[in-house]
């Protein structure tokens, strides 16, 4: 029996929805998957996988599209490259060895049609029977404790669906799923309703859902019952909203800085912030910025 296909309350599986076209990064995403674009010297997807590993997650499910290069290859051994680096006694051998995931823990599932985030999660159904994590790589979170680890700790206490939330400016609220809540205790918000991308005047709060979730396996059933919602897609927000009648949902205001790397300026901000907080690059980055500042 697959050790992950049980009803254990341990969060050992994560789903990465990576089927998107990366339209906002064209033309480079004609050839390179958006998730493989670098933030410094590591691709965006590696930050997400590293976050999951640090949280104790062991199995990694990538939901991709038919025409996209397999992102999973990045986490597989490249024997030819390893041999060449070994022959040269290269310092880079350790670097490429550190991001290898055991083959039995690396799963790729194809989402045949672009029917949204909810449908992408549903595509992982054959590998889900216990609670699991979802990480959207576009949302890069820099924090002392990994964001998904913070959420797992909350799950261990409350044993219910957990969604990461963040305060956003009202002018941007229509870009997000938004929660309405009954009460809160510090960073814990007891959710009573969720609305996908509401108009600014209809938003019940300024607390937006960002790309981190801990979900019960019951969400798969909720997703299977859904019809297309906002944008003609199967919305994960709708499935979580429907689950509120049968199980609690908590919005968790995580500790850390989140960068929206799904757009060019967000990715640039992440580049600069991470570089300027890295002792290896800090002085050079400051010098480059100062040199290129527009002067009156």
Written as tens digits, the pLDDT of the chain (296 aa) is 455 554 457 899 999 999 998 999 999 999 999 999 999 989 999 999 999 999 999 999 999 999 888 899 999 999 999 999 999 988 888 888 888 999 999 999 999 998 999 999 999 999 998 999 999 999 999 999 999 999 999 999 999 999 999 999 988 999 999 999 988 888 999 999 999 899 998 999 999 999 999 999 999 999 999 888 777 889 999 999 999 989 999 999 999 999 999 999 999 999 999 999 999 999 999 999 999 886 65
287 shares its domain with 188? no
Residues 125 and 220 in one domain: yes
In this structure, the answer to whether residues 207 and 282 fall within a common structural domain is no
Would 1 be classed as within a structural domain? Answer: no
What's the pLDDT at 1? 43
Q: How far apart are CA 199 and CA 279, in angstroms?
A: 43
**Tally of domains in the chain:** 2
Q: Is residue 134 part of a domain?
A: yes
The reply to whether 107 and 125 lie within a common domain is yes
- No. of helices (H) and no. of strands (E), the chain: 9, 13
Please check whether residue 8 lies inside any domain of the structure.
no
| Apex 42 CA angle, 164 and 100, nearest 5 | 90
Q: Can you read off the two tokens belonging to residue 5?
A: 């296909």
pLDDT of residue 183: 82
Beta bridge partners of 195: 178
The DSSP symbol for 176 reads S
Residue 268, in any domain of the structure: yes
Structural domain includes residue 3: no
- Asked if residue 211 and residue 182 are part of one domain, the reply reads yes
230 in Cβ contact with 196 (< 8 Å): yes
Q: Are 180 and 195 in contact (CB under 8 A)?
A: yes
245 and 208 in a single domain? The answer is: yes
Tell whether 210 is covered by a domain: yes
pLDDT score at 89: 87
Please tell me whether residues 211 and 237 are part of one structural domain. Answer: yes
- The answer on 283 and 181 residing in a single domain is no
Same domain, 87 and 144: yes
One domain for residues 239 and 274:
no
In a domain, 278, yes or no: yes
Here the CATH number for the domain that contains residue 71 is 3.90.550.10
State whether 114 and 23 are in the same domain.
Answer: yes
Domain extent at residue 284: 263-296
Q: Are 21 and 67 in contact (CB under 8 A)?
A: no
User: Is there a domain that residue 7 lies in?
Assistant: no
- 26 and 145 in a single domain? The answer is yes
């Amino acid at each position: 029996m697959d050790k992950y296909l049980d009803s254990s309350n341990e969060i050992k599986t994560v789903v990465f929805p990576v089927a998107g076209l990366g339209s906002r990064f064209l033309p480079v995403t004609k050839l390179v998957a958006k998730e493989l674009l670098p933030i410094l010297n590591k691709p965006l997807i590696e930050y997400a996988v590293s976050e999951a590993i640090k949280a104790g997650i062991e199995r990694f499910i990538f939901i991709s599209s038919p025409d996209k290069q397999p992102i999973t290859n990045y986490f597989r051994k490249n024997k030819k490259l390893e041999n060449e680096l070994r022959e040269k006694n290269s310092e880079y051998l350790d670097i490429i060895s550190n991001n290898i995931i055991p083959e039995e823990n690396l799963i790729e599932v194809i989402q045949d049609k672009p029917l949204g985030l909810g449908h992408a999660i549903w595509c992982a159904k054959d590998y889900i029977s216990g609670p699991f994590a979802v990480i959207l790589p576009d949302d890069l979170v820099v924090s002392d404790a990994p964001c998904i680890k913070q959420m797992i700790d909350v799950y261990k206490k409350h044993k219910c669906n957990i969604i990461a939330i963040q305060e956003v400016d009202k002018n941007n609220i229509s870009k997000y799923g938004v929660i309405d809540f009954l009460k809160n205790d510090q960073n814990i918000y007891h959710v009573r309703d969720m609305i996908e991308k509401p108009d600014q005047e209809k938003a019940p709060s300024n607390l937006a859902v960002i790309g981190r979730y801990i979900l019960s396996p019951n969400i798969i059933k909720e997703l299977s019952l859904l019809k297309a919602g906002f944008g003609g897609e199967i919305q994960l927000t709708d499935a979580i909203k429907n689950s509120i009648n049968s199980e609690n949902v908590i919005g968790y205001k995580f500790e850390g800085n989140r960068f929206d790397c799904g757009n060019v300026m967000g990715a640039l901000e992440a580049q600069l912030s991470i570089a300027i907080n890295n002792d290896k690059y800090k002085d050079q980055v400051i010098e480059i910025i100062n040199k290129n500042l527009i002067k009156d």
